[in-house]
Amino acid sequence: MKTLKRNQESIPDNRKFNMIVILIYFTFLFILEFTVFRPFLKPASINFLTNAKTNLFFLAMNDIFITLSYLLCSKWIFIFICMLILNFSTVYKLFIFTQNIFIGCFVISLFQLIIKDELVYYNESVLFPIKTCVTFFGTPSISATLSTIGVFTLRHLFFLEGFLSKWRRAYLVSFIICILYIVFAGLIGLFSIVNSLDQIIFGIFLGFGIYFFVFYIFKIQAEKGRQLLTFIKKNFLLHFILTFFPLVLLTMTYIVFRTSDKLLAELGEKLSKCKCPATAESPLYFREAKFSLIFGSFILINYVIIFSLKLEYSTVFPRKDNDWMHYNFNNDMKSILEESFCSDISIGEKETRWNKTGILFSLIRLAITFLVCFGILLLFEFYELETENVTFYLLCNSFSPLALVFFFLFYFSKVLFRILHLSNECVIILSG
């Protein structure tokens, strides 16, 4: 252990340097948007789409492109990935993945409120008949940013730190897969006549910056469950501040950079030319700056997730840190890089993680999770509250369904699976 500590102390901490690098990176990216990306890539995108509208194949495929663009950054895909991580991996990896996506939503909203760059189909020379009309701002591209954050986060969790890291070619192969997926998501965004190339490229670089910020400045290590335990044991007030400070910042940005009535009138006029309903007639969720405010507010779900983790820690294993660790992480931490478990219970060589069961039980758990989570989302989808009040819309239509879904994923699912005897109860039995 003394040798391990000396080795850890000898490793330089580059957080300050990385912080300076990331600040320079975001500043340089912001400058590039106005000096290079927008002046050169937006006209090129408009010219390409203007010529493409005469192509019959392109017109026939437009609906498919729009559907794919929606699916790539939809809540349905996001929740499904969360289900897979819950049932086959650790709660810390699920926590990291959800945090990164919500941070991405928040940062996208800030940039959209500040930059206010319109979607590509607002341009008069394109003049496509838009069937699925949205009126929010386009920089950065939502699909490009979230796709970049999502695939690089998953790569880091399972290829760079997880069991797949033992595969020698994992680093290169996973990187190539990520790049191909991001390029695919970017092209779909362009072909669906939603985003221009400057918005897509800005989103890709922004997403990579957020990924780097989380893993190389905060030094998040998904295999170290003790990091998560230390975090959830902190005071509720600290978690409240960490969750609601971004919302205050987002609200202030919304007020300071409020969309002018003149710009709204211009947007409404442009939309009428492409056979799209006026701004005031489009759904509240998809309407200019209000979309950015609602979209960025998804970061509030973090508090529900933290509350769920605290609830499990305090009720299932009150004051038994090591039992909680055994229950949520594998009993295979033989590496010197992982802190040891000093538990009061004798676990021997038993598998202790709650979802370490046979494949049949795992698939049954996945099916139940699928039915519950998608059932909640569909219920709120069919009974959507129609209101012009942003706060009510946010609470009833956006926050409530996701809050229920993530409360189920991070807490109640384990309770349900214990009742149904679908989980590994080794630690609970041994700890009493």
Is residue 415 helix, strand or coil?
Answer: helix
Average pLDDT over residues 295-321: 86
Q: How confident is the model at residue 341 (pLDDT cuts 50, 70, 90)?
A: very low
Residue range 67-79, pLDDT digits in tens:
787 777 788 999 9
Q: Which residues lie below 8 Å from residue 322, measured CB to CB, with a gap of 6+?
A: 341, 342, 343, 344
Average pLDDT over residues 201-230: 88
Most confident option among 1-5, 53-57, 238-242, 422-426:
422-426
Q: How confident is the model at residue 282 (pLDDT cuts 50, 70, 90)?
A: low
Q: How confident is the model at residue 8 (pLDDT cuts 50, 70, 90)?
A: very low
Q: How confident is the model at residue 210 (pLDDT cuts 50, 70, 90)?
A: very high
pTM: 0.86
Most confident option among 8-17, 247-256, 371-380:
371-380
pLDDT of 181 over the 80 cut: yes
Higher pLDDT, 173 or 60: 173
Residue range 93-132, pLDDT digits in tens:
999 999 999 999 999 989 988 888 888 777 666 555 555 5
Whole-number pLDDT of residue 82: 95
Domain extents for the chain?
A: 12-431
Higher pLDDT, 72 or 250: 250
Average pLDDT over residues 322-336: 67
Average pLDDT over residues 60-68: 75
Q: Which of 202-206, 229-233, 253-257, 427-431 has the lowest mean pLDDT?
A: 427-431
Average pLDDT over residues 260-273: 74
- Are 52 and 196 spatial neighbours (Cβ–Cβ below 8 Å)? no
Percentage of the chain exceeding pLDDT 70: 80
Whole-number pLDDT of residue 431: 66
Residue type, 342: C
Whole-number pLDDT of residue 166: 67
Long-range contacts of the stretch 212-221 (C-beta < 8 A, 24+) = 212/18, 212/22, 212/25, 213/22, 214/96, 214/99, 214/100, 214/103, 214/153, 215/156, 216/14, 216/18, 217/15, 217/18, 217/19, 217/22, 219/15, 220/96, 221/161
Whole-number pLDDT of residue 277: 52
Most confident option among 123-132, 212-221, 414-423:
414-423
Burial of 136 (0-12, 13-18, 19+ CB in 10 A): buried
- Are 334 and 403 spatial neighbours (Cβ–Cβ below 8 Å)? no
Residue range 371-415, pLDDT digits in tens:
999 999 999 888 877 776 767 777 787 888 999 999 999 999 999
Residue range 122-137, pLDDT digits in tens:
766 655 555 556 667 8
The overall average pLDDT reported for the chain is: 80
Q: How many CA atoms lie within 13 A of 432 on its CB side?
A: 4
pLDDT of 250 over the 60 cut: yes
Long-range contacts of the stretch 11-18 (C-beta < 8 A, 24+) = 14/216, 15/217, 15/219, 18/212, 18/216, 18/217
